[in-house]
């Protein structure tokens, strides 16, 4: 379900709703889900990638790093937490008030502030940290990964020591996995991230602030196994334009927001849940693993291309 602009303006203009649209504090998928996504992506990397990526040590490292950005959200590091919390989500209902959506973070920040002037009733919500930076951090880490893979190719061709750059590649691949996993969780793409906030709620979806953690962590921990997800990982499909393809991925997740609320209303995420809720959750985790695997592979393929020449005017 996608809210159009007029509906958004009507449902969100009231000041009473603005505190509910602040930066979410929930963590995408929890420790188990993020580790599962990263592990399955690493285990399914194509055979023509560097041999070090297929070792058990590499798979273990990428798996461990799945929850890494959530480890940076401790109250013991408040500045770090505040700086990177918006990287975990993007509320597409708000982002869609910016047309076209810029491809670069700082251009997006400027466009968000401009949109807040155009839509004064939503000025607080249209601050960029309230919309979220999900596709931007994903693109930036992906480009770090691609750069490191290019260095690996260069060092390999020169018979140099590749161990340091291998460590960088594993870190970037694992770090990337966290945000890709967040993107497969529909509640990381919407203002309705932890209870229905739209004024229009004809289906009586929950407004309690429990659905997010119940779905992505409690239910996953109790009911979802790696075997449930592994069989749903898609065939390899390298991305074309990384930013555009990733935005399409986020929009697909966003299209499933109402499905999460429907399953919740049917008590699908309570206790052992329902078969429908279990299948849906496994599918979303598999979508994260599939996209992560495809992004890592695409970074490897793109790293073989010549670097554009600099032109100085």
Q: What is the pLDDT of residue 199?
A: 87
Q: What is the pLDDT of residue 26?
A: 58
Q: Give the residue carrying structure tokens 């979802």.
A: 224
Q: Which two tokens stand for residue 125?
A: 């919500």
* Beta-bridge partners for 195: 193
Q: What is the pLDDT of residue 231?
A: 97
Residue-wise pLDDT for 85-133, tens only, equals: 999 999 999 999 999 999 999 999 999 999 999 999 999 999 999 999 9
Q: How many CB atoms lie within 10 A of CB 310?
A: 5
Residue-wise pLDDT for 201-237, tens only, equals: 999 999 999 999 999 999 999 999 999 999 999 999 9
Q: What is the pLDDT of residue 7?
A: 53
What domains appear along the chain, each with residue ranges and CATH number? 5-302 (1.10.575)
Q: Give the residue carrying structure tokens 């918006």.
A: 86
Tell me the three state secondary structure of residue 195. strand
Q: What is the pLDDT of residue 288?
A: 98
This model's pTM is above 0.85: yes
Q: Which residues in the chain show pLDDT less than 70?
A: 1-27, 313
């Amino acid at each position: 379900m996608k809210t159009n602009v007029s509906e958004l303006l009507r449902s969100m203009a009231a000041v009473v709703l603005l505190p509910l649209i602040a930066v979410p504090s929930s963590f995408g998928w929890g420790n188990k889900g993020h580790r599962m996504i990263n592990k399955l992506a690493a285990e399914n990397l194509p055979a023509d990638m560097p041999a070090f990526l297929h070792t058990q040590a590499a798979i273990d490292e990428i798996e461990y790093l799945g929850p890494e950005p959530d480890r940076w959200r401790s109250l013991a590091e408040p500045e770090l937490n505040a700086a990177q919390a918006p990287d975990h989500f993007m509320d597409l209902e708000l982002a869609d008030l910016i047309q076209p959506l810029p491809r670069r973070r700082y251009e997006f920040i400027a466009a968000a502030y401009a949109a807040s002037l155009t839509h004064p009733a939503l000025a607080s919500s249209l601050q960029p940290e309230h919309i979220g930076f999900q596709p931007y951090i994903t693109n930036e880490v992906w480009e770090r990964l691609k750069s490191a893979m290019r260095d690996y190719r260069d060092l390999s061709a020169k018979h140099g020591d590749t161990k340091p750059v291998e460590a960088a590649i594993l870190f970037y691949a694992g770090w990337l996995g966290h945000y890709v996993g967040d993107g497969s969780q529909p509640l990381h793409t919407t203002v309705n991230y932890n209870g229905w906030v739209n004024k229009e709620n004809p289906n009586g979806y929950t407004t309690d602030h429990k659905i997010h953690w119940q779905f992505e962590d409690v239910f996953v921990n109790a009911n979802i196994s790696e075997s449930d997800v592994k069989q749903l990982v898609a065939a390899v499909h390298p991305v074309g334009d990384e930013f555009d393809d990733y935005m399409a991925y986020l929009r697909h997740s966003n299209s499933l927001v109402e499905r999460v609320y429907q399953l919740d209303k049917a008590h699908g995420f309570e206790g052992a849940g329902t078969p429908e809720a279990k299948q849906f959750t496994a599918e979303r985790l598999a979508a994260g693993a599939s996209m992560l695997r495809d992004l890592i592979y695409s970074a490897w393929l793109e790293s073989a291309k010549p670097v554009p020449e600099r032109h100085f005017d």
